[in-house]
Amino acid sequence: VTTPATAAASQGRRTTKASFVCPIPGCGSTFTRSFNLKGHLRSHNEERPFKCHWPGCEKGFARQHDCKRHEALHLNIRPFTCEGCGRNFARMDALNRH
């Protein structure tokens, strides 16, 4: 469900000029911050410096926020709730697909 607040925030992100371009041929990803480009480049070279701390989980991630989001799944943290049916989701994009 898109609310006026989320629609406005999303529109603001789309109109910001992206000045950092991924140099990998064929990728085409652009970023507004060099920090985000650096994290993205790790996904191309398969560098995964951020490791899940959950016992027995061997997953690694290119970006710290992806690791933290993954670790929340182990704890069954689902902060996004469908207003129509009450189902909870760990990620906003999953709620939007629902």
Q: Which residue from 71, 87, 88 is spatially nearest to 79, judged by alpha carbons?
A: 88
Instruction: Please write the tens of the pLDDT for every residue from 78-92.
Output: 999 999 999 999 999
Domains and CATH numbers, the chain: 1-47 (3.30.160.60), 48-98 (3.30.160.60)
pLDDT at 17: 84
Rg of the chain (C-alpha set) = 16
Q: What is the pLDDT of residues 31-81, one digit of tens each?
A: 999 999 999 999 899 899 999 999 999 999 999 999 999 998 999 999 999
Q: Rounded to two decimals, what is the model's pTM?
A: 0.62
- Structure confidence at residue 18 (pLDDT): 82
pLDDT at 25 (0 to 100) = 96
Q: Is the pLDDT of residue 7 over 70?
A: no
